[in-house]
Structure 1
C-alpha cells in the first residue's frame, strides 16, 4: 500500500487523539482535577511521536514489500558422509533444491490489537521509523 495523503491525515488524527489523552493525564493535577500549564520534555517527545506515528504505523501494518531474510543451511553429518562415498556420476547430477521458506501474508488485525499497537506506537513511533530508515538505507 502506498503512503497517501488521506492515509497520513487519518492516522495523524488517530495518533493525535491517543497522544492528547496520554499528555493530558500527565498534566492533570489529580488533587484539584485541573490541567497544569507548561511544556515539558515529555510534551516534545509526544510532538515528535505524533509526527512519526502515521509513518511508523504504515511500516508496521501496511508495508507489504517482499522482504526475505537469508536462510542458513548447514550440511548434516549424514550428507557429508554421503558426499564422501558418492560416485562421480552422483556428484555431477544436479541436486534437487528445497523450496524456499516464505512468510505468511499479512492479514487484517482485530480492532483491539490495532488499538494496542496504536498505544505502543504513541511512545516508540520515532524509534521504529528510525530503524526502518536505517534498514532501508543499508539494504538498498
Structure 2
C-alpha cells in the first residue's frame, strides 16, 4: 500500500479524491457533532489512496509502519465508524473497503469491480434499486438493504 497518492497505471491522480473525501468527512462529522479522530482520518485517507478495495490487514500493516495504531480492534472500530457514517463501503466478496463517492447521501451500494486492475467504481442507479425492490415485492419480499457487486473489465483495461 502506498503512503501517498500517485497516478495510477491509467493516469488518474488520487490526490483530489483523497482531499475531497477528507473534506466531506470533516463536514459530515462537524454537522453531526462526531469526532473525526486522527486514526479515523488516516484510515479514510488510506482507503481513498487508490480505487482498489483495500483489506483491513493491509490498513493495519500501514498503520503499524506509521505507529498510529496496530491493534486490529482499533482499526475495525475506525472502519465501522466510516461505514456507519456513509464514508466508505465494504466490498463483501473481497472482504475489503472502498471510499464512498457520495458520502452523506442515502444510496445503495452498487459496484463495478475490474478483475484485471482491481479498481472498484461505485455505480449510481435509482432505476436498478427500484427494479430489484419491485421484483422482490412481487415475491412478497420486503428488501431493506442491498449491495450489488459486478465483476468484469473496466474501460481502461479493455482499451489496453
Normalised TM-score (structure 1): 0.29
Higher relative contact order (CA 8 A, sep 6+): 1
Of Structure 1 and Structure 2, the greater strand share is in: 2
Of Structure 1 and Structure 2, the greater helix share is in: 1
| Rg larger for | 1
Normalised TM-score (structure 2): 0.26
